[in-house]
Amino acid sequence: MTATEVRGAAADPDGEPVRASTRDSLRDSASRLATHRLTCLLAPALIYLALRELGLLVLQLMSARWDKPVTRVLTLWDGQWFLGIADGGYGGTWPWLYDGFGSRRPETPLAFFPGYPALVRWVAGLPWVDLIGAAFAVTIVSGVFCAYGLARLGRSVRGGSPRTGLLLVALFAASPMAVVLSMTYSEATFCALAAWALVGVVERRWVLAGLCCLGAGLVRPTAAALILAVGLAALVAVVRRRDGWRPWAGAVLAPLGLLGYLGYVALRTGRLDGWFAVQSQGWNSRFDGGAATWRFALSILGDPRSVMELTTVWVLGVALALLVVGVRQRVEWPLTVFALGVLVMDLGSNGLMNSKARLLLPAFTLLLPVAFALARRRTGTAVWLLAGLALFSAWFGAYTITAWPYAI
């Protein structure tokens, strides 16, 4: 070795020279590894936010066509109620808000669960943050947390993988009514808590499952389906004497949020079924076993009156088909129980039919068979299929809050 070569090299611990090119190669490998890890870390958020941004771009075009400001359509209907509760609490909700019959009672605001507006109120208390900005911030951050929960769930389930998790995130963000994940609605917050609760179940992290389920019970009544899934899974663990005291803790924590709020409404209204009475009196919403949904579906299939109603019926049909596929593919039974619970609550209610596709959004575990199937396909095939679904979702979501004249 020449003197020049010696000066361009370093000595290893054993005294042997290591060439500069080797050190450069090692640095390049470390840099590529760090970049790969960073990409993997950011992937769920980037996929979710990119698909939601696509939806907002299409919404901007549609809102201009119908001369409706984007901010206004993203804060319509239930969004106004949540903003009003965040601003003034249940006793000081904005006086121009009314129920489905155009009336208003002192107990009417109690129909809306407190979790989401409470978060909005806390964020709005920060310096230089207004109420609507706070609501959008809570929605966006909740959606990102949900994306990471779904990515973890898709990786943790039997037969799952990181690829499956990312595909699950994309399918969720591009689902037909994903537009509400950009609105001042509580779906994004609920789905985030539900996703991490189910991660807790699959990974046997029972305290995590119980705490997230407790939080979900303060956000939406759909938490009843989550409580059922978490509670049954914890019970099985107790019977099998697995994980010590933790399944007991998860089972005890899970229903506290929902029962706590229902109890609060019972005290405020003076009747045990107070929340259900408020729903029935204000929106004619009650459980009828699916009779109203069945009549609606037959009516629309026989005489399609609008894109919204016909698509809603097809979404319900696809959801039922995916449930059957999930059962046949033996998706973990707690995930199937959760999806089944959401379906029963949605299809079994005689509430606003135009909301049924939206109310199915939390049943994201129905998408697992699709994620499994796409994970086995070539990347190009999966990307093209997801791109088509994303474009349809973006258009349909924009249509439902601009061209469609009624509440969703």
CB contact at 8 A, 234 and 254: yes
Q: d(Cα 300, Cα 309) in Å, to the nearest integer?
A: 7
The DSSP symbol for 349 reads: B
Q: d(Cα 290, Cα 354) in Å, to the nearest integer?
A: 15
Q: d(Cα 206, Cα 191) in Å, to the nearest integer?
A: 18
Q: What is the dihedral of CA 155, 156, 160, 163, to 10 degrees?
A: 0
Tokens of 35: 């970049």
Distance of CA 118 to the CA centre of its chain: 18
CA distances from 221 to 142, 206, 261 (A): 18, 21, 10
Q: Which long-range contacts (CB under 8 A, 24 or more apart) does 233-236 make?
A: 233/201, 233/209, 233/334, 234/206, 234/209, 234/210
Per-residue pLDDT of the chain (408 residues; tens, 9 = 90+): 444 444 444 444 454 454 667 777 777 777 776 777 888 899 999 999 999 999 999 999 999 999 999 999 999 999 999 999 999 999 999 999 999 999 999 999 999 999 999 999 999 999 999 999 999 999 999 999 999 999 999 999 999 999 999 999 999 999 999 999 999 999 999 999 999 999 999 999 999 999 999 999 999 999 999 999 999 999 999 999 999 999 999 999 999 999 999 999 999 999 999 999 999 999 999 999 999 999 999 999 999 989 999 999 999 999 999 999 999 999 999 999 999 999 999 999 998 899 999 999 999 999 999 999 999 999 999 999 999 999 999 999 999 999 999 999
Three-class SS of residue 295?
helix
Q: d(Cα 161, Cα 150) in Å, to the nearest integer?
A: 12
Mean pLDDT of the chain: 93
The DSSP symbol for 9 reads: E
CA distances from 115 to 118, 188, 206, 255, 266 (A): 5, 12, 22, 15, 18
